[in-house]
Structure 1
Amino acid sequence: MPRLAASYDLHVLWIPSGDDVQDDARREVFSAHCTHSTLPTYDNAHAGIVSFARDWRPDGIVGFSELVVTAVHTAALELGLPSNSEQSLTALQDKHAQRQAMAKAGVPVPRFARVSSASDLHQAVAEVRTPSILKPAAGVGSMATYRVTEGTDLSALWDAASADYLGDPRGSGSPDFVLEELLIGEAWHDDDRYGPYASVESVVADGIVHNLSVTDKFTLTEPFRENGGIMPSMLPDDVSALVLGTASQAIRAMGITNSAVHTEIMFTADGPRVIEVNSRIGGGVTEMLHHCYGYDVVDAMAAVATGAPVPELGPLRRYSAFHCPQAPAADVVLASVPSLEDLRAWESVEDVQMTYRVGDRPQWERGTKGGTLVRIVASASTAEELLDLAEYLASDKAFTFAPGNTNAEA
C-alpha cells in the first residue's frame, strides 16, 4: 500500500472480516495511505466495484487475492479498463474449463472429468482411472483435496469432500469438483529436498507474456500441502527454458491478456505438465522477487492494470525462499514450537509470522493456509542456506506434536 499510494491516487474497496480488532487495524492502515470504503460480501464484489468505479473513474483496478481476482477482472472488462479476456475468466475460476482450454490448444493435460455428485464420482473414476486426485473446480490453497486410489470408498469420499468444501469459508454454492489423473512427479534436481514440481511467475500485458522467474519447490506434505520454495531455480538452463515455455503455452491457451500469473508445473517422465494456472501472484512471490532482483511486482501489476509499460526484471542479487511448513494431516496439538528468537537467529531470515502456539490445534483441514505453522521469508547468497532452513523447519528440532482431542477448539 505505501508503494502504490506513493505513485497513484488510490482508493481501496475491502470486505470486513467480522473480527472487530482485525477490521479496525485494517481501517487504520488504509486511512494512513488513501481513501477507502467497504463492500458487504465477496458474492457481489463485482457489482460493488463497478458501481463505485462509475463515479470514481479509475485508470485501472488491481486485486491480489485469489478470492477477488475474478471480480476485479470482470469489473475491469465491463468498464473498458485493462483486464483479462472474457475467454479466460471462466477458465481461471473453473479448473475443468481450464483443462478444456489447454487440451483444445494442444497443451498436454492429464485425463479429467467434472464431478458434482457421488454417482458422477463413480463414473469419473471409471473414465479417469486411479491413482487420481479429487479437488474443487474453484478451490484455493489445496482445500478439500483428496487422493483417490483403487481401494477408496468413493461414496464415503464424496461425503467427506462435500462436507469439507461446504464447511470452508472459501467454498460457495453446491459442491463442484474435478477428478484428474494423478501426475507422477519425477526428480529433476540432484537434491532430494526439492519437490518434483515448480512454479513460474509471470506478468502478462496486452497478451505479451513476461516470464519473471522459475521457483523451485520443497517436497509436499500429505495431502498435497505446499511447504514453500526457493527462487530462482537451480534447474539447468535448458530445463528451465522448457518449464518457462510450458507456462507461456498454457497462459496463451487460456487467453490471459492482462494479469499477474502463477503457473504450477509438475516434472514427469513425459516432460513438464501443467498442474494449474492462477491469475495472481503466488504466496511469498512478491517478497522473493524483491530480495532476488529488487523487483516490485506490485508496481508491475499496477502498470498492467493502467496500461503502462511493464518494468524490466533486474539482475540477480540473492536467492530467496518462502517457507510455510505444514502440520501433519491428523488431529494433533503443538507440543513445541521454535521461539521468534530461535528463528531470527538464522541469518537468512528476513521476516517471521508465527501462526500457532504450543497447545494449538493446526487447522490442516483448511488446506495450506490452515496447516501453515509459520510464515518465513528468507534470503541468502546461496540456495544451500535456504535449503538448510527448510530442513530444520521440517524436523522435530522446530515443531513437535502430541495427539489432539477432536472436541478441542483450535
Structure 2
Amino acid sequence: MANQENLPRLVFLDGPGPPPAKWYLPKLTENFEVHVLWSPTGDDAKDALRAQELGRFCDNSPLLGGDNSLRAVLEFSRKWHPEGILGFSELVVTETHAAALELGLPANLPESLRALRSKEEQRIALARAGVPVPGFASVLSLSDLVEAVAEVGLPAVLKPSAGVGSMATYHVTEDVDLTRLWDMATSRYTADPRGNGLVHFVLEEMLIGERWHDDPRYAPYVSVESLVQNGSVTHCAVTDKFPLSEPFRENGNVFPSNLPGHRIESILECATQAICAMGIMNSMVHTEVMLTAAGPRIIEVNSRLGGGVIEMLRLSFDYDIVTAMANVATGRPTAPMGPRLRSSAQYVPQSPARDVTLAQVPTVGELLAFDGVVEAELFYQAGDRPDWVRGTSGGKLARLIATSESPEQLLDLADFLASDKAFTYVPD
C-alpha cells in the first residue's frame, strides 16, 4: 500500500458492477488517501476475499448496505474528515451526493438526487426545461397500466421508475396480455435486490431509432460521457453501441463514435440541455440518446460512468478519468483531454431471452488470444443456465475490453461473440 500521508482524503463508495478495483484504485491512491466503504454479501468467504482485494490498495470497511447506507457514510466521514466522496456504481449515486451535500463537499444540486434515481421525476425535469421527451405515465397498479396504455399509446416500454441494467423492462405492443405482463414485471422487480422494493413503474412512448451509421452493426442509439464541475460541462466523447438483445439488454459499445461531425454536434447539444435540466453540478455523466428521424432524443441521464468508460478513455485517449473524477469530488482542477489515439470497445455478450443451458463456452485464454483484447472475464461455464430475466447483468456471458487502430476489427470481434463459434446453447 502506498504511503498516503498528507494526501487529500477521499471516501470511495464501492457498489456492484465493473470496473474492477485494479482499474481505479491504483490511480486514486497515487494522489489521495482513500478509504473504501463497501457492502458485505453475508458470505464470509466472499467478503474476506473482497476485503483482501481492496486491502492491497488502501484501508476499507464493510459499512454499506443494510437499512441506512447514507447514515453509515455520514458517521464514518464525520470521524475521518474527507475532502470528497466518490462512487462509480449507479446503486450508490444517491448516497454519494447526499452525503457530500450534508458535509458541504462538491456534489450535485439537492433537487437532482430524486430525478437521478426516478425515471418519472427525470422525465418531468427534462420536460419542464423544454427538452423533448417521449410521452409517459406513472404506473402503480394494473389499472394504472391499462389507463397508461390508452394515454401514451403503443408501442411503448414498461420499466421500473428506479431500475438499473434493463431489469424488469418490457416492450408493450397490441398483442401483449397486460395482466400477465404486470404480474411478471412486478414479481421480477420486487425479487431483484437491485431494486428499491417499491412497485412503481413508468410506461413510456417507444422512441423509434433511425440508422445514422453507415455500418448496420451499430445500434440506432449512443451514449455521451461527460464531466461536470461547478456546472461547467465537458463532453469526453460519444460512444457507439452494438444492437440490443431482447428485451433491452446491452451487448457493448465502441469508443469514440464513428458518426460524422455534424451528427456528433447535435448529440452533444442535446446532452448538454439534459444535464443542465437535471441540476447536475459535480459529477461524471452518462447520457443515453436515441437517434431518431426528428433528431437526438434523451433515453435517460445517469450521474455515473458508462460501462467500460474508465478503460476505454485510457485506451483511446490515454486519459485518466479516475483522477479527474476524484478532483471534481474534492474541488480540484481537472486535466484536459488529449487527441484520440485509437478505438476501443467493451463487450458484454448476452444469452438468448429464454431458458437455455450453455453447451459451448470459450476459455478466457481463447478470448485473450484475439488481437487487441486486453481483458476478458467469463461469468458462466458450459452446463450453466444464464439468468437472463435479471436484465443485462444476469444475461451477461462475458466481459471483454479491446483496442484497435480502427473500429472495424472491434466490430468483427462483436460478430464472433454473437455467433455460434463462441457460445452455443441447448433448450431447457
Q: TM-score range by the shorter chain?
A: over 0.9
1:81 is the counterpart of 2:105: yes
1:41 is the counterpart of 2:41: no
Out of 398, 405, 408, which is 2:422 matched to? 398
Out of 112, 136, 145, which is 1:112 matched to? 136
1:315 is the counterpart of 2:312: no
Out of 183, 197, 220, which is 2:244 matched to? 220
Q: Which amino acid aligns with 2:261?
A: D
Q: Which amino acid aligns with 1:330?
A: R
Moved more, 223-232 or 31-40: 31-40
Out of 123, 140, 148, which is 2:172 matched to? 148
CA distance in 2, matches of 1:84, 1:46: 16
Out of 37, 42, 48, which is 1:24 matched to? 48
CA distance in 1, matches of 2:41, 2:285: 26
Provide the residue aligned with 2:79 in structure 1.
Answer: 55
Native 8 Å contact 2:227 2:234 kept in 1? yes
Moved more, 13-22 or 392-401: 13-22
Native 8 Å contact 1:134 1:145 kept in 2? yes
CA distance in 2, matches of 1:67, 1:302: 18
CA distance in 2, matches of 1:19, 1:298: 29
Per-residue deviation at 1:13?
A: 1.1
1:244 is the counterpart of 2:261: no
Superimposed CA distance per residue, residues 117-149 of structure 1 (whole angstroms, 9 cap, x where no aligned partner): 111111111100100000010100000001000
Query: Aligned runs of 1:282-297 on 2, under 5 Å?
Result: 282-297=306-321
The alignment covers a number of residue pairs equal to: 404
Native 8 Å contact 1:5 1:33 kept in 2? yes
CA distance in 2, matches of 1:274, 1:187: 16
Provide the residue aligned with 1:94 in structure 2.
Answer: 118
Superimposed CA distance per residue, residues 16-55 of structure 1 (whole angstroms, 9 cap, x where no aligned partner): 1223232112211222222221215254111111111111
SS in 1 for 2:384: coil
Per-residue deviation at 1:174?
A: 2.1
Provide the residue aligned with 1:232 in structure 2.
Answer: 256
Provide the residue aligned with 1:191 in structure 2.
Answer: 215
1:203 is the counterpart of 2:223: no
Superimposed CA distance per residue, residues 269-307 of structure 1 (whole angstroms, 9 cap, x where no aligned partner): 111000000110011111111100011111111011000
1:177 is the counterpart of 2:201: yes
CA distance in 2, matches of 1:37, 1:197: 39
CA distance in 2, matches of 1:40, 1:232: 34
1:369 is the counterpart of 2:421: no
Native 8 Å contact 2:37 2:64 kept in 1? no
CA distance in 2, matches of 1:149, 1:301: 41
Query: Aligned runs of 1:377-392 on 2, under 5 Å?
Result: 377-392=401-416
Provide the residue aligned with 1:350 in structure 2.
Answer: 374
CA distance in 2, matches of 1:330, 1:382: 35
Q: Which amino acid aligns with 1:92?
A: L
Out of 176, 180, 188, which is 1:164 matched to? 188
Note the residue ranges of structure 1 that are not aligned, 5 or more in a row. 405-410
Query: Aligned runs of 1:246-285 on 2, under 5 Å?
Result: 246-285=270-309
Per-residue deviation at 1:314?
A: 1.3
Superimposed CA distance per residue, residues 318-365 of structure 1 (whole angstroms, 9 cap, x where no aligned partner): 100000011111000111111223212211101000111001001111
Provide the residue aligned with 1:299 in structure 2.
Answer: 323
Q: 1:43 to 1:133 in 2, by over 3 A?
A: farther
CA distance in 2, matches of 1:134, 1:30: 38
1:12 is the counterpart of 2:36: yes
Q: Which amino acid aligns with 1:362?
A: P
Native 8 Å contact 1:42 1:68 kept in 2? no
CA distance in 2, matches of 1:34, 1:393: 36
1:135 is the counterpart of 2:194: no
Native 8 Å contact 1:42 1:67 kept in 2? no
Q: 1:400 to 1:240 in 2, by over 3 A?
A: same
Tell me the TM-score normalised to structure 2 length.
0.93
Native 8 Å contact 2:313 2:319 kept in 1? yes
Q: Which amino acid aligns with 2:370?
A: W
Percentage identity across paired residues of the two chains: 57
CA distance in 2, matches of 1:335, 1:353: 18
Native 8 Å contact 1:229 1:323 kept in 2? yes
Superimposed CA distance per residue, residues 48-81 of structure 1 (whole angstroms, 9 cap, x where no aligned partner): 1111111111000001111111111001001100
Native 8 Å contact 2:157 2:169 kept in 1? yes
Provide the residue aligned with 1:339 in structure 2.
Answer: 363
Task: Provide the aligned C-alpha RMSD in A.
Answer: 1.0
Q: Which amino acid aligns with 2:58?
A: C
SS in 1 for 2:105: coil
CA distance in 1, matches of 2:308, 2:67: 26
Native 8 Å contact 2:285 2:303 kept in 1? yes
CA distance in 2, matches of 1:174, 1:7: 40
Native 8 Å contact 2:254 2:345 kept in 1? yes
Superimposed CA distance per residue, residues 131-170 of structure 1 (whole angstroms, 9 cap, x where no aligned partner): 0000010100000001000121111111110000011111
Per-residue deviation at 1:5?
A: 1.2
SS in 2 for 1:216: strand
Tell me the TM-score normalised to structure 1 length.
0.97
Superimposed CA distance per residue, residues 95-133 of structure 1 (whole angstroms, 9 cap, x where no aligned partner): 000000000111000000111111111111110010000
Superimposed CA distance per residue, residues 203-239 of structure 1 (whole angstroms, 9 cap, x where no aligned partner): 1100001100000000111111110010010000110
Native 8 Å contact 1:88 1:254 kept in 2? yes
